[in-house]
Amino acid sequence: MPLLRLDKVSLAYGHQALLDAVDLEIRRGERVCLVGRNGEGKSSLLRLISGEAQPDDGSVWQRPASRIACLAQEVMLDSQDAVFDVVAGGLSGLGRLLSDYHHAATQLAQSPTPGDLENLADLQHRLEAADGWQLEQRVETVLSRLRLEGAAGFHTLSGGWRRRVMLARALVSEPDVLLLDEPTNHLDIEAIAWLEDFLREYPGALLFISHDRAFVRQLATRIIELDRGQLTSWPGDYDAYLQGKAEQLEVEARHAALFDRKLSREEAWIRQGIKARRTRNEGRVRALRELREQRRRRRERGGRAKLQLEDSAVSGKRVIEAEGINKRFGEQVVIRDFSATILRGDRIGIIGPNGAGKSTLIRLLLGELPPDSGRILRGTKLQVAYFDQQRESLDPNATLMDSVGDGSCQVTISGHSQHVAGYLQDFLFPPERLQSPVSTLSGGERNRLLLARLFTRPANLLVMDEPTNDLDVETLELLEGVLLDYRGTLLLVSHDREFLDNVVTSTLVFEGEGRIGEYIGGYSDWQRQTAGERLPATRRETKPAVAPAAIGRRAPAGKLSYKDQRELEALPARIESLETEQSQLQATVNTAAFYQQSQDEITATLSRLERIAGELGECYGRWEALEAMMSAE
């Protein structure tokens, strides 16, 4: 019996459906990753499941007496309570009892009054009766692992630290269904590794949204993709999903091209005039109307963002040279005896726990902060562009156009003037949203806007502080490509292990007590060089991408034989039959009950799905070849 089920659920904001009659089942023990582009509706789906929103149509069912907890992408809670109280609040009534005991114990230790001891004893008795000590230990463990100070005021924390607190609140409740929206945002690598271990042993069901590819590879037992209003389930790991998705998109593109070619041919026929209105051709006219309606209903896959850095004058060969740098704040040593030389073209990753001093190191290197001792020499002709982790450079009340153009309608990219509207479309912002305020954007959209703003500024030294937060995987991979082609120097602070591996050529690692080690290569290279002693290595080797097999070869042009003509006429029905069977089998596979069958039945169904994909490819290829022969007559 599933813990959660969605039955024909639909949801729309505006003219486009985010969810179009979707079905979903989740069972205990599953770890399901929900993927999709920014703006597809992933967070909206989580809000439906958690009960924060209601569907326009269909039903959301959860098993009676089961509990759901959710970590949202944006923190809405504004509380004057201490962090301990907020986290313990995830335990409902017992959480309040734990908070009262915690405060009573603190009061007794600091400035006791006559009734404090009696009050503490009463709370202690009530906790023992409710087995509350185990829950207190759970709260303390999660606070410790996420490096949270229980006595700190929640309202005093930054947005990133508030997200950590809300993650802790969701984890301590140990619900039957745990919903997590980008749980690794603002976590350092050590905390991410702990979270992976915690969730791997989680007894309930887990549904999470994440664009951290290493995190997804470690955890997901099933991938669910939200694409153009439809949910598709992909059994297996993330790499199996990538391969299957690539094959699906190729088949979809071929199918769409053949459909458009047929529609074009029928449109040309109808324009011939009177003979199209003869009685014997009325069926063909009706078929054309149906083709037009199918084309109107078809939702195209959104375009890809176009990222391009503004060219800048070349800096000197030596960009920054640091020698014997020391920096402390009070008694805390942040940087101890640090020396390094950064040359033009270096791509350097900076790794370390939150609060270790990564931002301080950047400020020292850029000259925004003086060292206590040592010297820093900066090269000539430096032009710096800085990607701000907290997005402080975005005014929430400004429009998208003003945020990028600073009041102008034109931006200059690679020496060429371009209208802001056209430039923002390269970053997937449609014209109707250009006058919307920044406050209406999702986290991923804000990151894209900040990238758009940053890339208008010429720079030969690019400093990026957590640029991957909230970006969808496709945009993230495009950003990787841009940074690999970038001819300037890059300083990158990131906790995304795969992003570091793919982009940087060396790493600076905070190793404790202010000491910074320098290593060749990315995150995995550092792990190998230090034998994994400092942080647990959690990244698995990725499987090489497998290119879809070529299907169908174009036949040489020539006149169609009678046999070829009959084959061409039969192909649409054959394709329709295969696609119907494929849809039925895919719907069966998408249900969690599918995996309750015997292994032989599961294997037979999956093998048939694979054979159908191959047969469809051959049919499409043959159809295309015969069409080409016919058009050449």
- Let me know: does 44 contact 229? Beta carbons within 8 Å: no
- pLDDT of the residue at 376: 93
Tell whether 394 and 461 lie within a shared domain.
yes
Count, residues in the chain: 633
Are residues 206 and 120 part of one domain?
A: yes
Judge if 515 and 584 occupy the same domain. Answer: no
CATH of the domain at 463: 3.40.50.300
Q: Are residues 522 and 577 in the same domain?
A: no
Do 332 and 480 lie in a common domain?
yes
583/481 same-domain check: no
Pair (111, 142) in one structural domain: yes
- The answer to whether residue 299 is domain-embedded is no
Alpha-carbon radius of gyration of the chain = 29
Q: What is the pLDDT of residues 40-99, one digit of tens each?
A: 888 889 989 988 889 888 999 988 888 888 887 666 666 778 888 888 887 776 767 777
| Residue 291: per-residue pLDDT | 72
The strand ranges marked E within 416-569 are 416-419, 461-465, 489-493, 506-510, 516-520
Last residue of a domain, which of 211, 237, 263? Answer: 237
Give every CB contact of residue 591 below 8 A, 6+ residues apart in sequence: 25
- Model confidence over 184-235: pLDDT tens digits? 887 888 888 888 988 888 888 999 999 888 999 999 999 999 888 888 888 8
Instruction: Give dist(CA 150, CA 441) in Å, integer.
Output: 32
pLDDT at 389 over 60: no
Does residue 9 belong to any structural domain of this protein? yes
Residue 502 has pLDDT above 80, yes or no: yes
Predicted TM-score (pTM) above 0.75: no
Residue 282 lies in a domain: no
> pLDDT category, 467, cuts 50, 70, 90?
confident
pLDDT of residue 361 exceeding 90, the answer is: yes
pLDDT of residue 115: 67
- Looking at residue 550, its pLDDT comes to 32
- Are 415 and 553 part of one and the same domain? no
What mean pLDDT comes out for the span 157-170? 80
Give the per-residue pLDDT at 551: 30
Let me know: does 94 contact 49? Beta carbons within 8 Å. no
Q: 88-92, 156-160, 447-451 — which is least confidently predicted?
A: 156-160
- CA–CA dist 572, 626 (Å, integer): 12
Return the pLDDT at 159.
66
- Within a domain: 267: no
Domain final residue, candidates 197, 215, 237: 237
423 & 473 share domain: yes
d(C-alpha 303, C-alpha 290), whole Å: 27
| Domain total of the chain | 3
- Where is the domain boundary, 216, 237, 258? 237
Is there a single domain that holds both residue 591 and residue 476? Answer: no
In this prediction, residue 336 carries a pLDDT of 93
Confidence at residue 208, expressed as pLDDT on a 0 to 100 scale: 93
Q: What is the mean pLDDT of residues 306-332?
A: 81
Q: How far apart are CA 365 and CA 516, in angstroms?
A: 14
**What letter represents residue 616's amino acid?**
L
User: Residue 618: which domain range?
Assistant: 549-633
Highest mean pLDDT among 107-116, 215-224, 295-304: 215-224
Q: 231 with 347, same domain?
A: no
Write out the DSSP string of 576-623.
HHHHHHHHHHHHHHHSGGGGGS-HHHHHHHHHHHHHHHHHHHHHHHHH
**Residues 208 and 70 reside in one and the same domain:** yes
Question: CB-based contacts of 50: which residues, under 8 Å, 6+ apart?
Answer: 68, 70, 179
**Which range is most confident: 19-23, 109-113, 387-391, 468-472?**
19-23
Neighbouring C-beta atoms of residue 110, cutoff 10 Å:
8
pLDDT of residue 335: 93
Percent of the chain surpassing pLDDT 90: 15
pLDDT at 266 exceeding the cut of 80: no
CATH number for position 564: 1.10.287.380
Determine the pLDDT at residue 536: 42
Sign for the CA dihedral angle at 292, 297, 301, 306 comes to positive
Residue type, 348: I
Question: Which of 527, 551, 560, 531 lies closest to 541, judged by CA?
Answer: 527
Q: Is residue 247 part of a domain?
A: no
> Of the spans 146-155, 308-317, 372-381, which averages the highest pLDDT?
372-381
User: Is 88 part of a structural domain of the chain?
Assistant: yes
**Residue keyed to tokens 């582009």:** 37
* Assigned token pair, 301: 């896959």
Over residues 391-402, mean pLDDT = 76
457 occurs within a structural domain = yes
Mean pLDDT of 131-156: 80
Question: If residue 7 lies in a helix (H) or strand (E), which one and from where to where?
Answer: strand 4-13
Does 388 map to a domain?
yes
Q: Is 321 exposed, middle or buried (0-12, 13-18, 19+ CB in 10 A)?
A: middle
